[in-house]
Amino acid sequence: MKNSFPCRELPFIFAFFCAFGRRRRLPGASGWCKITKKTAVPAACALPAVSFEVWLEVTAMPYYRRNLLTLCVAVFLASSAWQQVVPFLPLFLQDLGVKEGLNQWSGVVYALHYISAIFFLPFWGKLADRYGRKPLVLRAGICLSLLYFAMSFARSPYHVAVVRFLNGALTGFIPGATALVATNTPRELTGRYVAAIQTASAGGTIIGPAIGGALADLFGFRGALQASGLMVFTAVLLVLVFVVEHNKTVIASPTTIRQDVQTAFSHPVLFGTMLAMGFTAFATLSLQPVLTLYLTELSGEAANWLRGAIFSLPGVAFMLTASLWTRWGERAGFEPLMPLGLLLSGVLAAILAWPRSIYGFAFLYFVMGICVAALRPAAAALVALKVEEGFQGRAYALQQSAFMFGGFAGPLLTGAVGELLGTRWTFVWLGLFLVASALFMHRLVQSWKRQAKVQLSGAVTKI
């Protein structure tokens, strides 16, 4: 089995789905069977006498690799669909009759998704650990698909607000997919497979706004929303048909949501990874409210495509470097990546206040995205490696809740700093915050190592 990073094979995923192999008549079989090798297989695998799961078993690809490729495509589609909606939400509200307070309505509708997701994600993660990750991924996908279709029939801004709240409350597709990969992959491959899911999600985040704008131009806002629902439904079908969950961990004893949160905060590694995910959202999303205004100050009449491209640079940086950070973490350990990424991101965020050219700003913003890209793969891999499997569904859900909280609080605080001190000082403030976060994370990681040494010395003494 090769240990190459699976993202290299993603361009061939659709070819794989369309042609697992070629049809050959099997000796003694009463039908045709699709196989991937020229060697004969038992006649029982003929299509008329066998289930689809057995047909998948005769393929040469291990089930965990097939799971990864399928979930990468599904996560990409789901992430793209979510981002497709965001760019034209203010315009959609305007079409619904919002004339006054459009900015306020847009902010409320945008924030409702984050607020509800913060509180509901741990609940869905708990159910995933109890009943399996695949059923909960399917549940999230079906709900999201129906909600996109429902939003396309909205007749007032209140309808949109309710659907956005439900969108956050019923989400859980991406953390569920991450937990499924983490618990159904050989341990030595877990880190890079989880990073591949994160990369697919980042890819959808990048391409989603462009697809959404194009669909809105072609079919209108309501047609674009229906197309988003269709994309998520396609992701659901892919998971239903191709993903197999062999490892279903059973919870030893039932717990409450409050107990799960207390467990997460008392677990040093899980608590640290939750902080890292919150800091990641803070670093990447805090600047969005002021970035457009600041780019206008730098460039004057720069083309809209250039500003849009600069917005996408952190996602591009993540896609290009997530696998490199993962390989580094496999060699040197994932723990040091989090304080290192925060420190470098903080320094670069502060330096962003000084460039006077939009191209110089874009270069530094891209480099900052490379540094931020160290955080998410490290946090996801540490949960897969350090948290017991029976809690991993809840762990990834709590990580996503922390990310949502950072995405909600970061823009609010940065916007307030921009109002008080000016747009340029928001970069300095963010840089100082991230450097302080790096120092705190470094002390936290050192405490993990001291605890591990104490536990090891205690075990040796008992021997």
Pick from 68, 397, 76, 170: which is nearest to 263 by CA? 397
Q: How many helices (H) and strands (E) does the chain have?
A: 19, 2
Q: What are phi and psi of 116, to 5 degrees?
A: -70, -35
pLDDT at 233: 96
pLDDT at 40: 39
pLDDT at 301: 64
- Domain 259-463 classified CATH 1.20.1250.20? yes
Measure the CA–CA gap between 302 and 298, rounded to whole angstroms.
Answer: 9
pLDDT at 54: 47
Q: Is 4 exposed, middle or buried (0-12, 13-18, 19+ CB in 10 A)?
A: exposed
H-assigned helices in 132-256: 133-151, 157-169, 173-183, 190-242
Work out the number of other CB atoms within 10 angstroms of the CB of residue 142.
16
Q: Where are the beta strands (DSSP E) in 247-399?
A: none
What's the residue count for the chain? 463
- Over residues 75-124, the pLDDT tens digits come to 999 988 887 777 677 778 888 888 877 767 877 887 788 889 888 988 89
Please identify which residue in the block is written with the tokens 């994160």: 198
Is residue 125 within 8 Å of residue 394, measured between CB atoms? yes
Instruction: Match domain 63-248 to its CATH number in 3.90.1520.10, 1.10.600.10, 3.40.109.10, 1.20.1250.20.
Output: 1.20.1250.20
Is residue 383 within 8 Å of residue 182, measured between CB atoms? yes
pLDDT at 252: 55
pLDDT at 14: 39
pLDDT at 302: 59
Kindly report whether the global pTM for this prediction surpasses the value 0.85.
no
Is residue 197 within 8 Å of residue 384, measured between CB atoms? no
Q: Which part of the chain has CATH 1.20.1250.20?
A: 63-248, 259-463
pLDDT at 129: 82
Parts of the chain with a pLDDT under 50: 1-51, 54-55, 58, 454-463
Structure tokens that stand for 402 in this block: 């922390």
Q: What are phi and psi of 23, to 5 degrees?
A: -80, 135
